Every structure is written in structure tokens, then in C-alpha cells.
């Protein structure tokens, strides 16, 4: 029932001694999704004890180097480790140039398949689904085609109280009905109400990753009510002209969007190397959206499993 | 008068949580030379407090990914930091594919020049010279064209004893002659012997970098008597068949070459990730060549300045 984000890199394009380029791993029910793959991603995975082999799906927001330069090393290491599983990459179709360069010069005898799932960046689309979650793209506004990703757990059924199955000798066909909301009639004709038989289902958890982007309110409906929201905040407010010029966001812009979208918790990262201490930056966000955290490389941010009341 | 090597990465192709892919910085008289550029080089430079801007010359041994995947990020960061100085890259001519891929997709508006100095890998050649050192290639035997690099200080003149310049009022034209070995005749006609006037010159220091390569005695004349010798020792002796198959070396093979070449000190690195503790590996080398050290990322290995006796 995990739902947690490990930050592998929280610098913007220029890394620092404390912050690697952009990369994250989202763990949903022990399925691990890599989100962006900046230089050094494989070393960060090693450092933070996440097995490389657990990753089968890589989501790339856009094709700036600080979000993809870790692919080369990771793809090579998978080959050396004799990977067998297919590796799925979800990205803008232009990534084919990078994958072709890699295959032509370093990956001619790859022992596993790379399966590219290209997507358009200007419309939101469902790009991944398994039994636990869906992943949809969130069109963003950056200097090149860019999307965010919305990871959302699927709606969950009610859980039946296990002790009552035994008590009333409930059959499997009836369990299915009860989970869907039915009451239960015992062999004596007694009606047991559904609310007595079941626990409320777990709340659906979601994570929206939005980097890189300029301030845009168009994304609000897509990220509305999200449990965990990651925004790039490359700049402080005093540098908002630079933010606009380079299609990035300031801390208070990110917080404004988080507030308008009624997000539960805001993570900010992708900090410019010019800020030696990001405390002032994150405080700008906190003034607008209190539940804001400046991410650190290696820290795990968890959304707990909670039942609906 | 510095002559020191900082190891940035000491893993072989698969990095570990403790060892990054191959990269080193040699500091000769405060000129900094980057030798190979594996993934994460720029972060390691930050971590070990070596300013990126001090590097103007990059030497690439061969074009396997674990020796060059750090170039992309480094070249981008130089651009973002508004580098002005030319960046010189010494490598096999096939590196043009990597540089062209980079320029076509990420570096179209580079604010500095990349100057490529291509070399043939099958002959030794002088490829760099400044007032302090020369750099020559050392042909190695790997699966693709590969060279090592011999960094060697230039022969030094004797140093005149400064206190005697004042005592005898020695003129500049005479100082030049004394440094070249002449005696000095004072205004009173007294002859002061050269050995009294001068200190012995500093010993010439040298560093040979040899990675990646299979065992080959052909390199011995080139590395003879070197002060500091770096050898790849990807494997332990029990895996020597694998070493031969993959054109790498074992620890005792490296030590044998160091001994035959009468090197002063041997550094071994480029360890396979299969060895969790390299103590056993380095002990195999020490049995043959006592003055052997297993390198660690971030450690600085210095050759002290010593006068000839």
C-alpha cells in the first residue's frame, strides 16, 4: 500500500554539491516509476538503496539535458547487468534522436528491449495503467514541449470486515456483492446492513509532477485536490522576470497554483544554483500555501493510506 | 609546484554507491587537467571543491560510455555558467559523433568554443605542452582504440641560492649563466664554484594513466620510472579469464607491469562492482609491487617536490 516519492535530484540545470539534476522515483504499491532521469540517476538510486531492477517504466517530462542525461548510463548498466525485462519509456517522440544516438554508439547489442511510448505534449492523455494506478500527462508551458504527470490510484472497493465472514459463513459470491454495497441476509433471515459489514475504502491518493513550466492556471483542473504536488520553483520572487524569460516559476507562483488547485501538500524543487540556502525561497511559498516543503535529495515523501470517513 | 591527482570516479562500467564512473583531475602547478569524464563528473568536481572553470583541457582515453557520459552535463553547465575560455578535448576522432549529437540537440548556442584535438590510438604522440609539462599518448590494447596518457614535468634548471645574489651583487646575465652551470667570478677575482652557488634542481615528476587495457608489456618503455602510475585493475586474479575476454587487467598483472617498469608508486582503480571489498584485490597487487594503493573517490594522491641529490 506504499505511495511515496523519493527525490533523487533537486537542482535545476546546474547541479550543486548537495543537489543532483532532476530525477524522482514514485513507489506505488511496490511498483517503482522513474520520473525524469538527470545525470547521475543510477548513482542516486544506488545511494538511496532503490534497486535498479525494480524500474520498468520511465517517464520523461521534456528533453532538456538536465532531465535526460542520466539515461545513457542507466541504459548501459542495465545491459551490463543482463536485464531481461522490457524497459518502457514515456516521452515526447523527439527522444528517438537520443535513443538512436545511444543505440548506434553504445547499445548495439542490448540484451533487453526499450519500448518507446511517445506522446503529444499539448493534450492530456492517459499513457499508463495497471491495476493500482493510472498516469495521465499534464500539458505544461516551457521553452520546448513539456508535460507533467498525474499519478492517481484507482478507486477502491470497500473492505469487508474479515471477522464477520467467519461469523456469518458468508460465501465468496456474497462477499463480492457486499463490497459493491449490498446488505447481507443470514440463513435466519436477519438483514445485516452494509455499513456494519464493511470498512470504508481507502482514500484515493494522487501525485502530480509539474516541471519545468511557467505559471499557467490552465493546469488547475487537472491537479485539483491532488494529495502530493511537485512544482518546480527555479526562482525566488525577486527574480520573477528571469523566471518568465526562461519559462520557469517562482516559489510564490507555485504556491498560488497549489492553493487555487486545493492541493493537500506542496513539494518544491528544481532550485537554481544561485540560491545557497533555499529557506527564503520556500518561505515565500509558505506565506501563500502553508503545507509546503523544499525537497532534499534522498528524502522520501509519503502519502499515508487513510480510510474515507 | 603542485603535482597531485584527485580521483573523481573509481568504478568500472557499473558504478556503485561508493564509486562513480571513471574521471580524474591532475593538478600540475595549478593547471588542472581532466582525465576521462564518466557520468557525474561535474557533481564530483563540485563535491571535491575543484572549480569547473579551472579546467581547460580534457583528455579522453577511449569512447566507452563509462569514460565519456559526463561530457554532456559538463558541456551544458559550462554554457549556463557563461564560459568564455576555449575548451580543449583530446580524444580519438570518433568522438565527433558524440560532440555533434550534443551540439545538434543541446549546444546550438554554445557561448564558448570546443576545440577537438584528435589523435591516433596506435602510436605514441606528444599531444599537449605548456611551460610546465608535456602530455604524450600511450597506445593501449582494449576492445576499441584506447590510449593512456603520460604527464611529465619538463626538465628543470638549477635554483640559485638567493642569499648569494645579494652577497655578491650578481647581475641577471650572470644568474642565467649560473643556472646553466657556470661558476661565478667576483669583483675581487674570487671564483665561486657552481655547486656552492646553486641548489640541485627539483626532480622531474610524472604520472601515467593507463585505463582501459589488457596486459601488455609493450607499454613498459613508455612508463619506465614514472613517479605515479595509475592502472585499471577491473578484476581479481581468479577472474583472469574474464579479464582477458573483456580486455581488462587483474591486480597482479598491473603490479607485474609496475614492477617491470620500475614505477615509484602504483594506484589501482576501475574496480568491477562484483567486489564488495577491494582489499583482497589490492593485496594481490601488493604481493608483487608493495607500493600499491587502491584509490577511493575524492582522495588526492600527491607526488611531493623533491630536489635531486
Asked which of B140, B172, B199 is the last residue of a domain, the reply is B199
Q: Which domain holds residue B182?
A: 159-199
Q: State yes or no: cis peptide before B212, omega within 30 of 0.
A: yes
Whether A41 and A118 share a structural domain: yes
Looking up cell 615528476, which residue turns up?
Answer: B205
Residue B295 domain-assigned (yes or no): yes
Contacts of B131 (CB under 8 A, 6+ apart): B154
Whether B195 and B205 share a structural domain: no
- CA angle, residues A129, A132, A135, in degrees to nearest 5: 35
CB B266 within 8 A of CB B289: yes
Do residue A106 and residue B65 have CB atoms under 8 angstroms apart? yes
Whether A10 and A138 share a structural domain: yes
CATH number of the domain to which B127 belongs: 3.60.15.10
Do residue B15 and residue A46 have CB atoms under 8 angstroms apart? yes
Packing angle between helix B95-105 and helix B71-80, nearest 10 degrees? 40
CB A20 within 8 A of CB A40: yes
Q: How many CB atoms lie within 10 A of CB A96?
A: 13
Do residue A73 and residue B66 have CB atoms under 8 angstroms apart? yes
Q: Give the number of residues written for chain B.
A: 309
Q: With contacts defined as CB-CB under 8 Å, which chain A residues touch B79?
A: none
Per CB distance under 8 Å, which residues of A are interface residues toward B?
13-17, 20-21, 39-40, 42-43, 46-47, 49, 63-66, 69-70, 72-73, 76-77, 80-81, 97-98, 101, 104-106
Residue B264 domain-assigned (yes or no): yes
Tell me phi and psi for residue B207, to 5 degrees. Answer: -140, 125
How far B132 CA sits from the closest chain A CA (Å)?
Answer: 31
Shortest CB distance from B65 goes to which of A43, A66, A72?
Answer: A72
How far A207 CA sits from the closest chain B CA (Å)?
Answer: 28
Instruction: At A132, list the grid cell.
Output: 493500482
> Which DSSP helix (H) or strand (E) runs through B177?
helix B172-179
Whether A74 and A30 share a structural domain: yes
Strand A266-269 to B87-91 pairing? unpaired
Residue A89 domain-assigned (yes or no): yes
Distance between first and last Cα of chain B: 18
Q: With contacts defined as CB-CB under 8 Å, which chain B residues touch A81?
A: 14
The pLDDT, as a whole number, for residue A108 is 78
Q: How many CB atoms lie within 10 A of CB B102?
A: 20
Do residue A43 and residue B40 have CB atoms under 8 angstroms apart? yes
Query: What tens-digit pLDDT sequence spans chain B (309 residues)?
Result: 899 999 999 999 999 999 999 999 999 999 999 999 999 999 999 999 999 999 999 999 999 999 999 999 999 999 999 999 999 999 999 999 999 999 999 987 899 999 999 999 999 999 999 999 999 999 999 999 999 999 999 998 888 998 989 899 899 999 999 988 899 999 889 999 999 999 999 999 999 999 999 999 999 999 999 999 999 999 999 999 999 999 999 999 999 999 999 999 999 999 999 999 999 999 999 999 999 999 999 999 999 999 987
CB A64 within 8 A of CB A13: yes
Average pLDDT, chain A: 96
Higher pLDDT, A80 or A109: A80
Residue B261 domain-assigned (yes or no): yes
The pLDDT, as a whole number, for residue A250 is 98
Whether A80 and A173 share a structural domain: no
* CA-to-CA dists, residue B221 to A97, B139, B206, B232, angstroms: 44, 12, 14, 18
B36 given a catalytic annotation: no
Q: In A154-250, where does DSSP find H-type helix? A: 162-168, 172-179, 194-197, 220-223, 240-246
Residue A308 domain-assigned (yes or no): no
> Which DSSP helix (H) or strand (E) runs through A103?
helix A95-105
Do residue A14 and residue B72 have CB atoms under 8 angstroms apart? no
pLDDT tops 90 at residue A248? yes
Whether B213 and B279 share a structural domain: yes
Asked which of A199, A223, A250 is the last residue of a domain, the reply is A199
- B72: closest chain A residue by CA: A69
- Establish, for the pair of chains A and B, how many residue pairs have beta carbons separated by less than 8 Å: 87
Whether B85 and B227 share a structural domain: yes
Q: What is the DSSP letter of A54?
A: G
Total domain count for chain B?
2
Whether B194 and B208 share a structural domain: no
Q: With contacts defined as CB-CB under 8 Å, which chain A residues touch B13?
A: 76-77, 80
Whether B47 and B186 share a structural domain: no
Do residue B46 and residue A15 have CB atoms under 8 angstroms apart? yes
Average pLDDT over residues A154-179: 90
Whether A27 and A14 share a structural domain: yes
Asked which of A143, A169, A199 is the last residue of a domain, the reply is A199
Residue B119 domain-assigned (yes or no): yes
User: Which DSSP string corresponds to B214-244?
Assistant: ---GGGHHHHTT-SEEEEE--B-GGGHHHHH
Q: How many CB atoms lie within 10 A of CB B45?
A: 25
Q: How many CB atoms lie within 10 A of CB B47?
A: 17
pTM attached to this predicted model: 0.94
The pLDDT, as a whole number, for residue B109 is 87
The interface predicted TM-score (ipTM) is: 0.94
Cα dihedral across residues B74, A294, A213, A140: positive or negative: positive
How far A256 CA sits from the closest chain B CA (Å)?
Answer: 29
Q: With contacts defined as CB-CB under 8 Å, which chain A residues touch B109?
A: none
Q: What is the pLDDT of residues A47-83, one digit of tens each?
A: 999 999 999 999 999 999 999 999 999 999 999 999 9
Q: With contacts defined as CB-CB under 8 Å, which chain A residues touch B46?
A: 15-17
Residue B217 domain-assigned (yes or no): yes
Q: Which of A245, A257, A274 is nearest to A12 (CA)?
A: A274
Residue B239 domain-assigned (yes or no): yes
Do residue B39 and residue A73 have CB atoms under 8 angstroms apart? yes
Q: What is the pLDDT of residues B127-151, one digit of tens each?
A: 999 999 999 999 999 999 999 999 9
- Which residues of A are tagged catalytic? 66
Whether A191 and A221 share a structural domain: no
Do residue A43 and residue B70 have CB atoms under 8 angstroms apart? no
Shortest CB distance from A65 goes to which of B43, B72, B104?
Answer: B72
Whether A134 and A152 share a structural domain: yes
How far is the C-alpha of A89 from the C-alpha of A36, rounded, in Å? 10
Q: In A129-219, where does DSSP find H-type helix? A: 162-168, 172-179, 194-197
Amino acid at each position: 500500500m506504499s505511495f511515496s516519492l523519493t527525490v533523487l535530484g533537486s537542482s535545476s540545470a546546474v547541479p550543486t554539491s548537495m543537489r543532483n539534476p532532476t530525477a524522482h522515483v514514485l513507489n506505488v504499491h511496490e511498483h517503482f516509476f522513474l520520473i525524469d532521469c538527470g545525470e547521475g540517476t543510477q548513482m542516486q538510486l544506488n545511494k538511496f538503496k532503490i534497486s535498479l531492477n525494480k524500474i520498468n517504466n520511465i517517464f520523461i517530462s521534456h528533453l532538456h539535458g538536465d532531465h535526460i542525461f542520466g539515461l545513457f548510463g542507466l541504459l548501459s548498466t542495465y545491459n551490463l547487468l543482463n536485464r531481461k525485462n522490457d524497459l518502457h519509456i514515456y516521452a515526447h517522440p523527439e527522444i528517438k534522436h537520443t535513443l538512436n544516438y545511444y543505440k548506434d554508439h553504445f547499445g548495439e547489442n542490448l540484451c533487453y528491449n526499450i519500448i518507446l511510448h511517445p506522446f503529444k505534449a499539448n493534450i492530456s492523455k492517459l499513457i499508463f495503467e495497471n491495476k493500482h494506478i493510472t498516469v495521465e500527462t499534464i500539458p505544461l508551458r516551457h521553452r520546448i514541449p513539456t508535460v507533467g504527470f498525474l499519478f492517481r490510484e484507482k478507486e477502491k472497493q470497500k473492505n469487508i470486515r474479515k471477522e464477520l465472514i467467519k461469523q456469518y459463513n458468508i460465501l465468496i459470491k456474497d462477499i463480492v456483492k457486499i463490497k459493491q454495497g449490498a446488505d447481507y441476509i443470514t440463513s435466519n433471515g436477519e438483514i445485516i446492513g452494509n455499513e456494519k459489514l464493511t470498512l470504508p475504502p481507502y482514500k484515493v491518493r494522487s501525485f502530480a509532477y509539474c516541471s519545468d513550466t511557467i505559471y499557467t492556471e490552465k493546469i488547475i483542473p487537472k491537479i485539483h485536490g491532488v494529495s502530493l504536488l511537485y512544482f518546480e520553483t527555479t526562482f525566488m520572487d525577486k527574480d520573477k522576470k528571469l523566471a518568465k524569460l526562461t519559462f520557469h516559476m517562482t516559489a510564490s507562483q507555485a504556491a498560488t497554483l497549489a492553493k487555487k488547485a486545493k492541493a493537500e501538500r506542496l513539494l518544491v524543487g528544481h532550485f537554481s544554483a544561485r540560491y545557497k540556502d533555499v529557506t527564503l525561497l520556500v518561505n515565500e511559498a509558505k506565506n501563500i500555501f502553508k503545507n509546503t516543503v523544499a525537497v532534499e535529495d534522498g528524502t522520501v515523501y509519503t502519502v499515508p493510506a487513510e480510510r474515507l470517513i
